[in-house]
A and B are shown apart, each in its own frame.
Chain A
């Protein structure tokens, strides 16, 4: 496939994790692209507890998972895995952007992830979105490579009186959020 071909938007479809039938697809993609080994229980941990925070882009183009939970009195979103098949590199930012919006709207205060210090593409992508490199982790990966821990802190609405739209959205979301509402397009 010619990598220079501009893909039309309609060729990409974002879907939430839909159940067991997606698991082999996800596992296969991640195993191909990432150097770290993950057992099936790693995937089950995330998709069982937070199925609404896992996304696939069909057909078989992207996989993305994230979770959020309490972290030292902070609600933290965590990007676990992001895989983009080579022909579609460069389109990952849409998937990440979409996911971060969901994290933000669910009431998290921040998002975090780790990336290899040698992964220039990922570092540039997350850097453009406002992530800082909070820490460097010595020999974090099994292959001996260091990692950066990347973090994005969301604004607190009370600190931004000049952002009424954000504030309104945030407050209305908090009022309507019952915790179990599944993510819907």
Chain B
């Protein structure tokens, strides 16, 4: 290429004392021509694998320097990208200020959804030089509270960090998260809010023709717009104030700020409503610069002043630039409504000192699919300083869950290394359950082996301790009981984890239709074990309670009470029948060739079984279960036999019977209703399949419209 000689030469890096710059381009070119095809010259430590993370200059997908507006913050500021004041005209200044507020909110929501702070919130150049805005009280106070809010949320997410989901979220290289005095952001915000409140009162007094009681300088110059602009600013400022207060309240240890947090949540929701209502006014006064577009990040529809996403992109570029689409203002408000609702659920939780209650609460909370910020808050509420809610020691929670009396909570046995290990496993379980479903499933699968190993170690410690039958002391008896109860509980908990691991596979869409038979079969065998262990644990607790009662009633000499199967175990029993029914139905469909089996040229059903249940098999969950067991159970299934011993009818019957026991538990009631519905419909489908055995036009489909992971069968003529 011919060089353009008319261009002035670029300033080069000056030569140092003992060195002189020399152009080696011709030398490089000559050297490259001598290379063989595919040859690389590199240092001894160079490796291609590490080089895969390299960026490539001039590639639009990788080079963040391409198509830039400015090369530096100073250059952008000099060119008036982020002026202070925003406009010399006060009315325009206020309108643009509101646009900045709205766009920042949209950026904040986009950040929470998993993009980088640098390319979202901190694409606002006003945030990058804290001192620059000090002459503009409104802008300055707003920037302060934004920085403080980002810092607070970063702190929560970083502290709750369990996996790489947060990596991008918490990246904040060199961004000014704290300006001077940001910790006093609320007092400054309050001052600004007070000023605007007075301005609003003044213009209302003025509009009603009454004399102005105080001399208040108006917000801007157009009296007709004063009320609208004051209100639009106030609701945005108040949202900021209450949101920050909310974060600070939830930060208080042991959940002491939850009640106050709920008040701030209600206030935030109220202000969001006002923000929405201000849109019509703002759009009407956009002077034709507004675009009617569903992707608008501002209520007015105008492009905000002072933002440049490419600037930080360049400054913090160890990764390729992501093409980020900032959420619209409407989507951002929806996000914050969802976040506030999720945080309200957390703040409404009773902090029940019960491990079972905490686990159930997390599972229920996750059903609403909360985002990262809400999940992080829940995790920090549940586990602080290795204690439940930062208050209840994990060992005492375990003893309670295992059905042991309260006197055992402070027993010395908790210092046993395997008990300590068990406590840590429980903490990890709580944390993992607060993560996103994909990560949760992976970690639950892996932790099964840890739970199994801990069980075996506790069992060995138990046997070792009580091998010496000669000593019988009172403390020995207590230790014996503690070990017995905790061992039973650990096994139950292990199968509970396995059950959740398998269910999450449906939520994550990991199973194909061809896998359903083996998956429901495995759920069936896991549930049998879970019911068995729960029954054992509850029976032991019942025995302990009975002995207590008996001592008080010695004089009556009651006969042994009839023992009833606990409702919780019956609930599991109905699910056992449902899972077995589904497994056998799929097996019958395959055996009678009504569904086409998967025909891979490379492997068989056996390999798929191995892969699907690898983590459970490694953990011996359950023991002695294998592909062979699965084949033996299902290879003879057919519709004639299934209709005779209808598992679905059994499931439906038990679900119906056990309902009265859960009258005070709406969640379990709802679950039982769902189980009943699936069982009823599947029983009908089963009979249709049997009756229509010779009709090739009958097709069976499966849907999850009644239950998230127990499929409903639908038989249709095609």
Q: Which chain A residues have a beta carbon within 8 Å of chain B's beta carbons?
A: 19-21, 31, 36-42, 44-45, 48-49, 97, 100, 104, 117, 127-130, 132-139, 142-144, 146, 148, 151-155, 159-160
Contacts and interface: CB of A to CB of B under 8 A. Distances in A.
Contacts of B511: 133
Nearest to B598: A130
B322 A132 contact: no
Contacts of A135: 438, 441-442, 510
B442 A42 contact: no
B294 interface: no
Nearest to A139: B114
A65 to B, nearest CB: 13
Contacts of B512: 127, 132-133
Contact of B515 (A132, A146, A152): A132
Contacts of A97: 601
B6 interface: no
24 contacts: A19-B37, A37-B59, A38-B52, A41-B51, A41-B54, A44-B40, A45-B49, A45-B52, A49-B48, A100-B602, A128-B598, A130-B600, A130-B602, A132-B510, A132-B515, A132-B612, A136-B437, A136-B441, A136-B510, A143-B322, A143-B323, A153-B611, A154-B602, A155-B604
Given A31-B61, A37-B59, A37-B320, 16 more contacts: A20-B38, A39-B51, A44-B48, A45-B52, A97-B601, A128-B600, A132-B515, A132-B611, A132-B612, A134-B510, A136-B441, A138-B165, A138-B437, A138-B439, A153-B610, A154-B607
A104 B606 CA distance: 17
B169 to A, nearest CB: 10
B413 interface: no
B603 A153 contact: yes
B436 interface: yes
B456 interface: no
A153 B607 contact: yes
Interface of B: 37-38, 40, 48-49, 51-52, 54-56, 59, 61-62, 113-115, 165, 320, 322-323, 436-439, 441-442, 508-512, 515, 598, 600-604, 606-608, 610-612
Contact of B603 (A138, A148, A154): A154
B54 A152 contact: no
Contacts of B598: 128, 130
Contacts of B602: 100, 104, 129-130, 152, 154
Contacts of A31: 61
Nearest to B47: A45
A39 B323 contact: no
A153 B40 CA distance: 36
Residue among A100, A152, A154 having the largest count of chain B Cβ atoms under 10 Å:
A152
A160 B605 CA distance: 12
B56 A130 contact: no
Nearest to A49: B48
A159 B606 contact: yes
B56 A40 contact: yes
B438 A137 contact: yes
Contact of A19 (B38, B437, B509, B608): B38
B161 to A, nearest CB: 14
Contacts of A128: 598, 600
Nearest to A140: B438
A136 B52 contact: no
B54 A39 contact: yes
A38 B509 CA distance: 29
Contacts of B603: 130, 152-155
Nearest to B164: A138
Contacts of A132: 510, 512, 515, 608, 611-612
Contacts of A21: 37
Contacts of B441: 135-136
B600 A129 contact: yes
A63 B38 CA distance: 19
B165 A139 contact: yes
A144 B38 CA distance: 35
Contacts of A134: 510, 611
A6 B437 CA distance: 44
B38 A39 contact: no
Contacts of A138: 165, 436-439
B39 to A, nearest CB: 9
A37 B60 CA distance: 9
Contacts of B515: 132
Contact of A39 (B52, B442, B607, B612): B52
Contact of B438 (A20, A130, A146, A159): A146
B48 A48 contact: yes
A59 to B, nearest CB: 21
Nearest to A31: B61
B653 to A, nearest CB: 35
Nearest to A133: B510
Nearest to B323: A143
Contacts of A130: 598, 600-603, 607-608
B510 A41 contact: no
A37 B49 CA distance: 16
Contacts of A142: 320, 322
A136 B442 CA distance: 9
B40 A39 contact: no
Contacts of A48: 38, 48
Contact of A133 (B322, B323, B509, B606): B509
Nearest to B505: A133
B160 to A, nearest CB: 15
Contacts of A152: 600, 602-603, 607
B535 to A, nearest CB: 34
A42 B62 CA distance: 13
Nearest to B39: A20
Residue among B37, B38, B610 having the largest count of chain A Cβ atoms under 10 Å:
B38
A142 to B, nearest CB: 5
Nearest to B512: A127
Contacts of A146: 438
Contacts of B49: 45
Nearest to A51: B38
A144 B114 contact: yes
Contacts of A144: 113-115
Nearest to A103: B602
B37 A45 contact: no
Contacts of B56: 37, 39-40
A20 B32 CA distance: 14
B68 to A, nearest CB: 17
A37 B61 contact: yes
Contacts of A151: 611
A152 B442 CA distance: 18
Contact of A42 (B52, B61, B438, B601): B52
Contact of A136 (B38, B54, B508): B508
A41 B56 CA distance: 9
B644 to A, nearest CB: 33
A136 B611 contact: no
B611 to A, nearest CB: 5
A133 B114 CA distance: 24
B46 to A, nearest CB: 10
A155 B606 contact: yes
